[in-house]
Amino acid sequence: MVVNHLELENIGKRIIEEFDYHRIDKDIDYFKDNQSTVENIGVYLWDEFRQVYGEKVHYIKVWENKRSYFEYFEEKQR
């Protein structure tokens, strides 16, 4: 699912605000027990967006810097 940035900001505002200007290791419960690596952030975002959008979410990509990113998706069971 591709989402326009403005739509994402409006619909996913709660998820965005949870990270904005917060120390995620201390302010978000998930990261009190899970190190805040780009991989764990990707899995966390996957879970949060799946709660909002359900099965419409197929793929998450989180960029760490210009050359490093994490991709997450669930493979379909055969």
pTM: 0.76
With H, G, I as helix, E, B as strand and everything else as coil, classify residue 48. helix
The answer to whether position 78 is within a domain reads no
Domain of residue 32, CATH code: 3.30.479.10
| Residue 13, burial from CB neighbour count under 10 angstroms (0-12, 13-18, 19+) | exposed
pLDDT of 4 higher than 80: no
The string of pLDDT tens digits covering residues 56-66 is 888 899 998 99
The string of pLDDT tens digits covering residues 33-76 is 999 999 999 999 899 888 877 888 888 999 989 999 999 998 77
Total of domains in the chain: 1
The string of pLDDT tens digits covering residues 10-27 is 667 777 788 888 898 999
With H, G, I as helix, E, B as strand and everything else as coil, classify residue 70. strand
The answer to whether position 77 is within a domain reads no
Structural domain boundaries, residue 35: 5-72
